[in-house]
Amino acid sequence: MVNALTIDVEEYFCYAYPDATLSRDQWARLESRVVPQTLETLDILEDHGIRATFFLLGWVAEREPFLVREIRDRGHEIGSHGYGHDLAYQQTPEDFRDDVKRSIDVITDVTGEMPLGYRAPSFSIGHNALWALDIVAELGFRYDASIYPIGHRHYGMSNARPDPHRLDNGLWEFPASTFSLLGVRLPFGGGGYLRLYPFAATRWATHRINAAGRPAVIFVHPWELDPRPPAMGLDLVHRFQHTVNLRKTRPRLLHLCAEFDFAPMSEVLDALGSDSLSSVTAASG
C-alpha cells in the first residue's frame, strides 16, 4: 500500500487557532525560518527516494518563489494551502474564494501550472463550511484534503467518510487519517498527533489502515523540524499544542520514510483507481 505524504509549508507563526491569531502585518516583522526548514524536509525525502505533496501557503510562496521552484524541481507535487492561513469557517464565501484564488495565482505564476490539490488551514472545512468544497471545485482543483473525520473543538466532522471518495461536485476528497479504538474514531499521522503519541501508535495505526486496504495520510509542517522555535505569545494550551515534542519530529519522520511507501496525493488517488471509489457527499457517515 502506497500512502500519501503531505507537507504544509507555512511559517511557525502562521497558526490559526480561532482565538489566537496574528495579523499578516505582524507576520512580516517576525523572523522567517521556512526556507531552511523546508530545505531540510526536502533533503530527508530525497535521501529516502520519496516524493510528496507540498501544500504551499500563498503568502510564503509569494515571498520565497525560489523555494517553490526548488520543491517542483525535486519532483514533488505542489498544492495550495490558501493564501493567508485564514480558517474557512471564519470567512465569507467571497473572502474564501478570493483567498484561495490569490494562492492559485501566486503558485501558477511561479510554476506555470495550476496546483492539483487544496488543503484548508487547520482542516477548517466542516459542517459549518461545506459550501467551501463547491468553491474549491469551481476553482479547478482535482482534489481536496481539508476534511478531518473526527470531532474536535477547532475543526473536524465526526460523521465524514474516512476514506478517499468523490463528492457530488466531481471533486475528490482525501480526508486526513483516523483509526477506531473501542468504537471511538481517533486522529493520527500528522502535526501534534505525530509528536504527541508514542511513535509505536503511529506505526500501528498506519499498518492497520493499510491492512484495511486504505492509504494513510501523514502530514508535517517544516517548522516542526525546528526543536527551538522563537517564543510566541500563545496561551498554555496552544503553546503545548504548538511545541510539544518538536525534537521528536525529525526522527519520527525518518522512521516513517524508512518503513512505509509514500507518494504525492494525486498519484495515490490514481493508484486507487476510480472503480474503487463511489460518488458520495462529504457529510456521509
pLDDT tens digits for range 101-157: 999 999 999 999 999 999 999 999 999 999 999 999 999 999 999 999 987 667 778
Q: What is the pLDDT of residue 234?
A: 63
How far is residue 121's CA from residue 85's CA, in Å, rounded to a whole number?
A: 5
Q: What is the pTM of this model?
A: 0.92
Distances (CA, A) of 221 to 41, 77, 96, 246, 271: 9, 15, 22, 11, 25
DSSP string across 212-239: TT---EEEE-GGGG-SSPPP----HHHH
The dihedrals phi and psi of 174, each to the nearest 5 degrees, come to -120, 90
Whole-number average pLDDT of the chain: 89
- Confidence (pLDDT) at 231: 64
Four-residue CA torsion sign, 58, 218, 223, 52:
negative
The tens digit of pLDDT for each residue in 174-205 reads: 999 998 888 888 899 887 899 999 999 999 99
Phi, psi of 138 (to 5 degrees): -65, -30
**DSSP annotation of 10:** -
CATH at 226: 3.20.20.370
Q: Which grid coordinates are listed for 237? A: 494550551
CB atoms within 10 A of CB 113: 10
Q: Give residue 156's pLDDT.
A: 79
Helix (H, G, I), strand (E, B) or coil at 120: coil
Confidence of residue 284 (pLDDT cuts 50, 70, 90): very low
pLDDT at residue 14, as a whole number: 85
Determine, yes or no, domain membership for 284: no
- The percent of residues in the chain predicted with pLDDT above 70, rounded, is 89
- Is residue 281 in a domain? no
Alpha carbon distance 78, 52 (integer Å): 9
Q: What is the pLDDT of residues 19-76, one digit of tens each?
A: 656 777 888 888 999 999 999 999 999 999 999 999 999 999 999 999 999 999 999 9
Alpha-carbon Rg of the chain, whole angstroms? Answer: 17
What does the pLDDT read at residue 19? 62
Q: Can you say whether residue 30 is alpha, beta or left, with left for phi > 0 and alpha for psi between -120 and 50 degrees?
A: beta
Place of cell 503511529: 202
Could you give the count of Cα atoms lying within 13 Å of 109 in the half-sphere of its Cβ?
Answer: 12
Encoded amino acid at 97, one letter: R
* 3-class DSSP state of 186: strand
- Per-residue pLDDT at 9 exceeds 70: yes
Contact criterion met (CB below 8 Å) for 257 and 7: no
Q: What is the pLDDT of residue 39?
A: 98
Please report the pLDDT score of residue 277 as a whole number: 39
User: Helices 131-138 and 93-111: crossing angle, nearest 10°?
Assistant: 30
Is 282 within the bounds of a domain?
A: no
Residue 61 to residue 64: CA distance in whole angstroms: 5
Q: What is the DSSP string of 158-203?
A: TTS--S-EE-TTS-EE-PPPEEEETTEEEE-SBHHHHHHS-HHHHH
Q: What percent of the chain has pLDDT over 90?
A: 71
Domain, as residue range, for 223: 2-276
For the beta carbon of residue 181, count every other beta carbon within 10 angstroms: 11
Please count the structural domains in the chain. 1
Whether residue 285 lies inside any domain: the answer is no
